[in-house]
Structure 1
Amino acid sequence: MKLRAYLDFICAAKTLEELWLEHVRQMGDYKFDKLLYGYTRQKTKTSLGDPEDFVILSNHCSEYVEGFVNSGLYFDAPMLHWALENDGPGSWTLVQDQISNGGLSESAQKVLEFNAKHGVTAGYTVSFNSSSDRFKGAISLAACDGLNQDDVEDIWREHGRDITLMNNMAHLKRS
């Protein structure tokens, strides 16, 4: 689906399920086949609020969601911390830079080990601009198995603006 057709679809989507399924398909066309979207309206300086109040959408396997989300690994994820402080797209190269500089905590390293076990090793995170400091949303776009971060950077150079726009529009429709 071309960008304009996708945006028309987003505007006309009647259900969250319809929107999410098409969004997953669209991101898959760009070689991002493992998505994790999260949104809270209860963020404070020290908390994201009650996890029971989070909106979480994912097409990851249940074992991944159980470990990363339900068991709380997300709390130590480097790109989550990045997303809380930034808006827009963030390359996972940021994490590779932290590894090279020895700047990752032991708990963050455990998150990366868990991610690697599930093929979540290359990608981008899009952090959404919010109208309130209490609201925050982001989406993790993990690349297909077999792609590395250099491959992802090539995809992003060519299509990053469209991918960011598609994710922003899907987020706005959802929230």
Structure 2
Amino acid sequence: MVAAPSLAARAGNSPSLPDVAALLARILAGTDAELIWEDICNFFGSLGFEHLLYGYSPDSRGAVLGAPEDYLILTTLPKPVVREMIASGYFRLSVTFNWALNNVGLASWSMTAEEAGMPQDFAVPPDGAEFFLRHGLLTGCSIGFAQERTRGRAVMALIAPPSMPQSDLDSILDEWRDVVFTVAAVAHRCLSALPYLPPGRRLTHRQREVMEWVAEGKTTADIALIMGITPPTVEKHLRLARETLGVETTPHALVKATFLNQMFVASPQEYLALKSVSAWHL
């Protein structure tokens, strides 16, 4: 397989300021997550990156990342690689992943455990090292994003061809750091704000409608009258919504649906069903 051109080789044909501005305008105006993802893949691909990996856990709390069933994972890596990474927890072995969870900015994969604030005895076990080597995940950078809430964490990894030395990538990123971070951060803000409908967590139209009326402060009797259904049917929809979202109470279901951006949605659609990976696919 022919490796993608290096960032250095692209220097003479790098995106101009108008190119970057046009890209950011498309992302900010976009309501189709798949098109946003395609745009940023094309942009970072033009810089010579071979793969992208974006992970977002809308219900995470600090170091607790939440249920894998709720993760939004977008990537150009083969799905079997991502499945193995999630199932075995190899992503938690990345120094820069752990740094990006708690920091804002770009971290080169040359970052040491000490620089990332990891425990002094931190070491990647042999099976983890073999996984990264086997799949050529050797050269790249990880990006951490600003946290506007106490819930929700995201990390993006940009992966260069394995034939490219990390030192070469670092020298180019010194020049492109702000552009790379800006495009990634704007994409994250937009992707994380769009509806996410993971398999097994997808509310039906009726369930969402009932939940929205609950959020408006309506009682079961009110909702039954408004929707022209019986109170037991309202309770049935609420019960099914709780089961779908994996929670026990209706208030928790409201919070969970809000984190997934499934409440008060103008036009809910299938959301990257073919390109996202969650525990439902493992």
| TM-score where L is the length of structure 1 | 0.88
Tell me: CA distance 1:96–1:113, structure 2 relative to 1, closer, same or farther (3 Å): farther
Question: Does residue 69 of the first structure (1) align with residue 82 of the second (2)?
Answer: no
Question: Does residue 36 of the first structure (1) align with residue 53 of the second (2)?
Answer: yes
More strand by share: 1
Question: Does residue 105 of the first structure (1) align with residue 123 of the second (2)?
Answer: yes
C-alpha distance in 2 between matches for 1:70 and 1:21? 26
Q: Secondary structure in 2 aligned to 1:60?
A: coil
- Structure 1: runs of 5+ lacking an equivalent: none
Partner of 1:50: 67
Tell me: CA distance 1:106–1:170, structure 2 relative to 1, closer, same or farther (3 Å): closer
Task: Measure how far apart 1:140 and its partner are.
Answer: 0.6
- Which structure would you say has the larger Rg? 2
Are 1:36 and 1:139, in contact at CA under 8 Å, matched by a contact in 2?
yes
Choose from 40, 56, 69 the match for 1:23. 40
- Which structure exhibits the higher relative contact order, with contacts defined as CA atoms closer than 8 Å and separated by 6 or more residues? 1
Are 2:113 and 2:122, in contact at CA under 8 Å, matched by a contact in 1?
no
Tell me: CA distance 1:106–1:5, structure 2 relative to 1, closer, same or farther (3 Å): closer
Are 2:53 and 2:156, in contact at CA under 8 Å, matched by a contact in 1?
yes
- Structure 2: runs of 5+ lacking an equivalent: 1-14, 193-282
Tell me: CA distance 1:80–1:165, structure 2 relative to 1, closer, same or farther (3 Å): same
Q: Secondary structure in 2 aligned to 1:41?
A: strand
| TM-score where L is the length of structure 2 | 0.56
Tell me: CA distance 1:134–1:65, structure 2 relative to 1, closer, same or farther (3 Å): same
Choose from 147, 157, 164 the match for 1:147. 164
Tell me: CA distance 1:168–1:67, structure 2 relative to 1, closer, same or farther (3 Å): same
Task: Measure how far apart 1:103 and its partner are.
Answer: 4.9
Instruction: Give the aligned residue type for 2:94.
Output: A
Instruction: Give the aligned residue type for 2:23.
Output: Y
C-alpha distance in 2 between matches for 1:134 and 1:122? 30
Q: Secondary structure in 2 aligned to 1:144?
A: coil
Task: Measure how far apart 1:61 and its partner are.
Answer: 1.3
Instruction: Give the aligned residue type for 1:159.
Output: W
Instruction: Give the aligned residue type for 1:57.
Output: L
C-alpha distance in 2 between matches for 1:112 and 1:18? 34
- RMSD between superposed Cα atoms in Å: 2.0
Are 1:77 and 1:111, in contact at CA under 8 Å, matched by a contact in 2?
no
Q: Secondary structure in 1 aligned to 2:150?
A: coil
C-alpha distance in 2 between matches for 1:12 and 1:46? 32
C-alpha distance in 1 between matches for 2:60 and 2:128? 22
**Number of equivalences:** 171
Q: Deviations over 1:115-139 (max 9, x none)?
A: 1211110111010111112211110
Task: Measure how far apart 1:69 and its partner are.
Answer: 2.1
Task: Measure how far apart 1:25 and its partner are.
Answer: 1.0
Partner of 1:165: 182
Question: Does residue 128 of the first structure (1) align with residue 135 of the second (2)?
Answer: no
Instruction: Give the aligned residue type for 2:147.
Output: S
More helix by share: 1
C-alpha distance in 1 between matches for 2:104 and 2:127? 25
Are 2:93 and 2:124, in contact at CA under 8 Å, matched by a contact in 1?
no
Instruction: Give the aligned residue type for 2:70.
Output: D
Task: Measure how far apart 1:54 and its partner are.
Answer: 0.9
Instruction: Give the aligned residue type for 1:39.
Output: Y
Q: Secondary structure in 2 aligned to 1:138?
A: strand
Are 1:23 and 1:170, in contact at CA under 8 Å, matched by a contact in 2?
yes
